[in-house]
A and B are shown apart, each in its own frame.
Chain A
Amino acid sequence: MRTIQQRFKRTARTQEAILLLVIAIVVTLLTAANPSFMTISNIFDILRIMTVSGMMALSCLLIMISGGVDVSFPAVADAAAFAGATILLQAHFNGSGLVLFLTAIPLGMLMGAINGFFVGWFRIPTMIVTLGTQSLFYGASLYFLGGVSIFELPQGTKDLAQKALITVDSGSGTSSLGPLFLVLVIMAIGVSLLLHRTSFGRSIYALGGNEMVVERSGINIRLRYLCLYSLAGAISAIAGAANATIYRNANPVGLQGQEMGIIAAVVLGGALITGGKGSVTGTLLGVLLIAIIQNSLVLVGIPSTWQNVVIGIVLAAGIAIPAVRHLIDARNKTEVLI
């Protein structure tokens, strides 16, 4: 009996449980304020917002677990999708919508590998490297490929945008959810399995915990960083291609400025910014909370200009509350705090 109670207590104290509670409260309040929040079309809207940001959050999560703060993933996503679309346009390709993804992924991996090279070989903090590469990737794609959105996407991409995974017929019309949300779910399961079921995944946590120990245990950490950042680049590229598909144009700066919101979502999801801790479930819940805020403030009469205030407050609370709890825990144990 006691063990069940203890286990319940432990679960209830995890970030995921707290986040779930917060989301439940927010949803209840929003529904009470405006019943149209709980309509199926609004829920699909939120899930659509979540699709691209959820993919980027997975990329951000992987890097954050390894102990780095990546700010280049929107740049990688945009540049990979934009360069991919440019290639397809030059080749007059007009076939399947999958090809945009297949073109973007190697480009994203290449850009991720550049990040990984600088982090792994030169031990420069990820934040500094990715601030540089973010500027580099955006600058390169805008200057050398031209800064104009590409609307002439392959026919397959346009078809993919109109496909529906689920279509629900509500009173006022049909609302549908695209197949790309399923891609997010599959990617989330994939990343989760990678993190918990493979030695590569465990070593990502170890890198975030103590890099030196990982190196001493005989792992080639440079190679690990290179693989990890390439993987994150590939995930970002999928996010970029998904963004281009959903909005039916490849915008070279379509996701610019979203990095801080995504990092906020990942941190809210319980990932430690110093590395070694983080979960896919928490991250997706964090992204969901931010998506609800972005989508629904207008529904309850808060002007959209207040969006960042609310996100900022949620983020500040999400950071400060665990910090205070940690501080109290540590004080009870009379630890020396550094």
Chain B
Amino acid sequence: MSKTNDSQAPRTRKPGNRNGLADFKSDIHALFDDRSMNLLVTVFVIVAAVLFIALPDFRTAANFNSMALQISDLGIMALAMTVSMIAAGIDLSVVAVANLSGIIGIQVMTSMGGVDSSPTAALFGVLVMLATGTLLGLINGMLVGLLRIPPILATLATMTLWGGVGTAATNGVSISGASRSLTDLGNIAIFSIPVPTLVFILAVILVWLFLAHTSTGVKTYLYGSNAKASLFSGVNNATLMIKVYTFCGLLSSLAGVVILMRTLSASPTYGSSYVLLAILVAVLGGVSVTGGSGRVTGVVVSLITLQMLSTGFNMLLVGHGNSNFFKSFAWGLFLLLIVWLGYMQDHGFGFKPHRGTSTNTAGIAAKKPTAPATPTSHAKAG
């Protein structure tokens, strides 16, 4: 087996068998081959440049600090959404899981001494929150994997249910009482990066490792692009779905921890627009809406772009009506624009009828004109 693998080494590179500079070059090349990524980076650079030049308030350290804080909780939820969308599903319950685990965490910390409780109590509370998220994710995973309920439906039900449990537990109001040793972390910066942002960076690394460096991650991509092929190549789809949604639940509860750090409270109705925003971030970041493709880099770039736009709107629209309403309008427009551009990239700028569901294959074929020559040369040699 290993011999056949070695003979294919130039094509299927293994992580342990890297070829230094050549691999690095091909990595860079692969990065620029991704056309949706190129579009995204272009948008990012333009938005950043315009805001830098036009708004003096934008290029202050205080603003960057506040932007870094603001992306942290939405960012982690967007990562959870990304993972579920790569698996050709969707996790609508991310916000509900984050809020419910926050509520449970606060109740645990309150019972252990409230605001003045010890760091141990805070740590225990955080662990309980993460365990809650994992358990709720596991329930999603079992509904999707074992009962074969479409993810959108399963997570719709759990979203309603956990939202309802949160409302029932708090009477619908926001509760506080999280340990100060946890909430103080929200104001601390390490190497001038706020701690919530560090948690987000940790989540980014975690998701990147999961997707790119574990066999479960690779199987997730396979399942997302073709569940039947995944089954027939020996993947246990049910177990895979349980793993994927459990991971999403864990990430959601991590977002709940960050919300606690930032807002010092938990509420069953916090961040109700975050489901849309998380999907927007993922789609804008190049995650395919039909599953099977998407990468963490794109999601991070799209998250920062959206946050810059949001901050820019806030600064520009002072005194011109409610900027939140305008943002809602702009996000909707942005999402439609991005999916339209993505479609146009795949199908060409025209209104010809198209059949079937083609993805990026057209783009890859255009980039490598030498590819069709290889089979012929093989045939001649044979």
Contact = CB atoms under 8 A, between A and B. Distances in A.
A338 B172 contact: no
Nearest to A220: B353
B335 A131 contact: yes
Interface in A207-264: 212, 215, 257, 260-261, 263-264
Contacts of A125: 289-290
A97 interface: no
A309 B169 CA distance: 10
Contact of A135 (B164, B171, B276, B290): B276
B377 interface: no
A135 B149 contact: no
A324 interface: yes
B167 A308 contact: yes
B163 A263 contact: no
A23 interface: no
Contact of B160 (A131, A136, A260, A274): A260
Interface residues of B, number: 56
Contact of B289 (A124, A263, A308): A124
A123 B357 contact: yes
Contacts of B322: 142-143, 147
A53 B154 CA distance: 22
B325 A143 contact: yes
A288 interface: no
A265 to B, nearest CB: 12
B161 A312 contact: yes
Contacts of B365: none
Given A143-B326, A320-B147, A311 B156 contact: no
Contacts of A215: 355
Contacts of B167: 305-309
Contacts of A69: 152
Given A123-B357, A124-B343, A273-B150, A136 B332 contact: yes
B83 interface: no
A133 B335 CA distance: 9
A327 interface: yes
Nearest to B143: A320
Contacts of A124: 289, 339, 343
A326 B146 CA distance: 12
Contacts of A144: 329
Nearest to A127: B152
A316 B230 CA distance: 28
Interface in A131-185: 131-140, 142-144, 147
A312 B150 CA distance: 16
A313 interface: yes
A143 B329 contact: yes
Interface string B267-309: 0000011011001100100000110000000000000000000
Interface in A108-134: 118, 121-125, 127-129, 131-134
A122 B153 contact: no
Interface string A292-329: 00000000000101111111110110011001101100
B168 interface: yes
A208 to B, nearest CB: 13
B160 A315 contact: yes
A131 B164 contact: no
Contact of B335 (A135, A263, A309): A135
Contacts of A107: none
B227 interface: yes
Contacts of A316: 157-158, 161
B168 A305 contact: yes
A65 interface: no
A138 B325 CA distance: 8
B15 interface: no
Given A139-B330, A312-B160, A320-B143, A132 B149 contact: no
Contacts of A128: 279, 283, 289, 335, 339
Given A264-B156, A306-B164, A320-B149, A134 B321 contact: no
Contact of B171 (A131, A137, A305, A324): A305
B340 A118 contact: yes
Contact of A309 (B154, B168, B237, B272): B168
A118 B335 CA distance: 11
B147 A131 contact: no
B59 interface: no
A85 to B, nearest CB: 18
A267 interface: yes
28 contacts: A69-B152, A128-B279, A129-B336, A131-B276, A132-B334, A135-B329, A135-B335, A136-B328, A138-B325, A138-B329, A139-B327, A139-B332, A142-B328, A142-B329, A143-B322, A143-B328, A143-B329, A147-B322, A212-B355, A306-B167, A307-B167, A308-B163, A312-B157, A312-B162, A315-B160, A323-B147, A323-B148, A337-B148
Given A308-B164, A313-B161, A316-B157, 17 more contacts: A118-B340, A124-B343, A132-B331, A132-B334, A132-B339, A135-B332, A136-B329, A139-B331, A212-B355, A267-B153, A273-B150, A307-B164, A308-B160, A315-B157, A316-B161, A323-B147, A338-B237
Interface of A: 69, 118, 121-125, 127-129, 131-140, 142-144, 147, 212, 215, 257, 260-261, 263-264, 267, 273-274, 303, 305-313, 315-316, 319-320, 323-324, 326-327, 336-338
Nearest 7 CB-CB pairings of A with B: A139-B329, A308-B164, A136-B332, A312-B161, A139-B328, A135-B332, A132-B335
